[in-house]
Amino acid sequence: MSVGLASFVLLIEINIIQLPGSFLLVYFCLLFVIGRPIYYFELSFGQFSGKGPIKVWKCLPLLKGVGFAQMVSLSYITVFYNYIMALTLYYLFLSFQIPLPWAVPSEKWASSCHLNNTLNITCEKPLSQEFFELVLV
């Protein structure tokens, strides 16, 4: 699963305020009724037949689209995590520069920064946020 522990904790925190424990009932029902049986079936039948995730579902015509859905979702997750890792590495290499690129406003990307009467620079957004939005995205 691509949901991390932090997302799960945040989900718990939000739902405890509204309906305490209601999401746990739905989560565990879906986990044990749908998630685990499909996972164990695919794992055991894939080991037994030696077929991939798409061909293993051809034995059950009702579920033959599950393999394609798994591959599509896996592709999206892979692209998403590669993007996050690329941003992390980019920021890592930028952080070795002195001064930091987002510490000093630049004319290229700091559009919300203005020079006031006392010659101080004031910005509507934090510089790091503006750098991220206008340079990276």
pTM beyond 0.75: the answer is no
For residue range 75-87, what is the model confidence (pLDDT) as tens digits?
988 998 898 899 8
First to last CA, the chain: 26
> Residue 10, CB half-sphere, CA atoms under 13 Å: how many?
5
Distance CA 54, CA 17 (A): 41
Model confidence pLDDT, tens digit, residues 24-71: 777 788 888 888 888 888 788 888 888 888 888 788 888 778 888 888
